[in-house]
C-alpha cells in the first residue's frame, strides 16, 4: 500500500482528456502542414505558415505531455497554446490548399479546448 501522499488522483485526466486529444491532433496536423508547406511552389509565401506550424506543433505536444502529468502550469500552458493555435489557424486559413485548411480547422478546435481549461 502506498502512503496517501504518494497516491495520485487520476480524475484530473478526465478533466484534461479532450484538451490532450485536441493538442495531439493539432500537433500532428501542424507537423504535416509544415512539411507540405516546404513542398509548395512559392516557398517564400509559405514561410510564415511553415514557421507557425512548427511552433504550433511544439507547443501542442508540450501542452499535451504536461497536461498528462497534471502539471501545475496547466492553465498557463493552455492559455499560450490557445494563442499560438489561433495565430496558426488564421495564417493557415489564408491559404487555399487542403493541408492548410485542415490545419486551420484542427488548430481552432485545439484553441477552443485549451481556452476552456485556461478559464476553468
Per residue in 88-119, pLDDT (tens digit) is 999 999 999 999 999 999 999 999 999 999 99
Residue 85 has pLDDT above 90, yes or no: yes
- Residue 111: all three cell numbers together: 484553441
Give the CATH number, domain containing residue 49: 1.20.1270.360
Contact 8, 102 (CB under 8 A): no
Closest CA to 38 of 28, 25, 51: 51
User: 44 or 56: which carries more pLDDT confidence?
Assistant: 56
Q: Domains in the chain: how many in total?
A: 1
Q: Is residue 99 part of a domain?
A: yes
Give, for 34, the enclosing helix (H) or strand (E).
helix 11-37
Q: Is residue 9 part of a domain?
A: no
Provide the whole-model pTM. Answer: 0.88
Q: Is residue 5 part of a domain?
A: no
pLDDT (tens digit, 9 = 90+) per residue, 8-51?
456 777 789 999 999 999 999 999 999 999 998 888 889 999 99
Domain containing 113 equals 17-119
pLDDT of residue 13: 72
Amino acid at each position: 500500500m502506498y502512503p496517501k501522499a504518494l497516491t495520485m488522483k487520476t480524475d484530473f485526466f478526465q478533466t484534461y482528456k479532450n484538451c490532450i486529444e485536441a493538442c495531439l491532433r493539432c500537433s500532428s496536423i501542424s507537423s504535416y502542414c509544415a512539411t507540405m508547406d516546404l513542398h509548395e511552389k512559392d516557398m517564400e509565401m509559405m514561410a510564415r505558415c511553415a514557421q507557425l506550424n512548427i511552433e504550433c506543433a511544439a507547443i501542442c505536444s508540450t501542452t499535451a505531455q504536461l497536461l498528462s502529468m497534471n502539471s501545475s502550469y496547466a492553465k498557463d500552458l493552455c492559455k499560450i497554446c490557445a494563442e499560438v493555435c489561433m495565430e496558426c489557424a488564421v495564417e493557415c486559413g489564408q491559404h487555399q490548399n487542403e493541408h492548410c485548411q485542415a490545419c486551420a480547422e484542427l488548430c481552432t478546435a485545439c484553441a477552443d479546448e485549451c481556452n476552456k481549461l485556461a478559464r476553468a
